[in-house]
Structures are given as C-alpha cells and as structure tokens.
Amino acid sequence: MDIMLSILNEVYSLQPKYYGGDYNRLLEILLECKSTGTTFLVGGRKIEGVFKVLEDLDIPKELRDMFISIPEEMFRMDISSTEIRKSQGL
C-alpha cells in the first residue's frame, strides 16, 4: 500500500508524542506497516518560509526505505489549502 503525505504529515508521524511518548512504540507500529509493504510517498512543503523535503527529516534507519521522495519539480505548488478554500469561497 502506498500512502502519499506532505512533509508536514511526515514530521508528525515520526514524533513519539503521537505514540504515547514512546519511541519504541513508534518503531513497532511503523515496522508493522513496513512488514505489510506500506510505503510513504512524501512531497515537500514550505514550513516557516523554507521549502522542506524528505531528505531534511531525521528518519530512523530501520524505516528509511519506506519513504520515497516526490521530486520538488513534480510536486511543488506554493499555495496552502487555506488559500485554496478562500479562493473557492469555502
């Protein structure tokens, strides 16, 4: 199964606080995903004025091969979902 994420989602998914504060639980859950063939397609995102990509993240070595970077030239669009909703009157 492939899952597409923005870099921001990826930052969140690699924080132990989302796994009860337990780094080992984070590894356990993501290694379970890895065992099923799950991969994460990760697109960059502008964070605090800087465009961040997968290579900017500190991913545990046991998990690195689960993450595939979407090249910036194929994915980058400097517009937020908030801006899109506003432009559509939502």
**Bridge partners of 50?**
47
pLDDT at position 23: 92
Q: What is the residue range of 31's domain?
A: 2-87
Give 35-87 pLDDT, tens digit per residue: 999 988 888 887 788 888 888 888 899 999 998 888 877 776 777 778 778 88
Number of structural domains, the chain? 1
Closest CA to 59 of 38, 40, 36: 40
Cross-strand pairs, 46:
51
Taking the whole predicted model, whether its pTM rises above 0.85 is answered as no
The more confidently predicted of residues 46 and 34 is: 34
Question: Number of C-alpha atoms within 13 angstroms, CB side, residue 3?
Answer: 16
Half-sphere exposure of 41 (CA within 13 A, CB side): 9
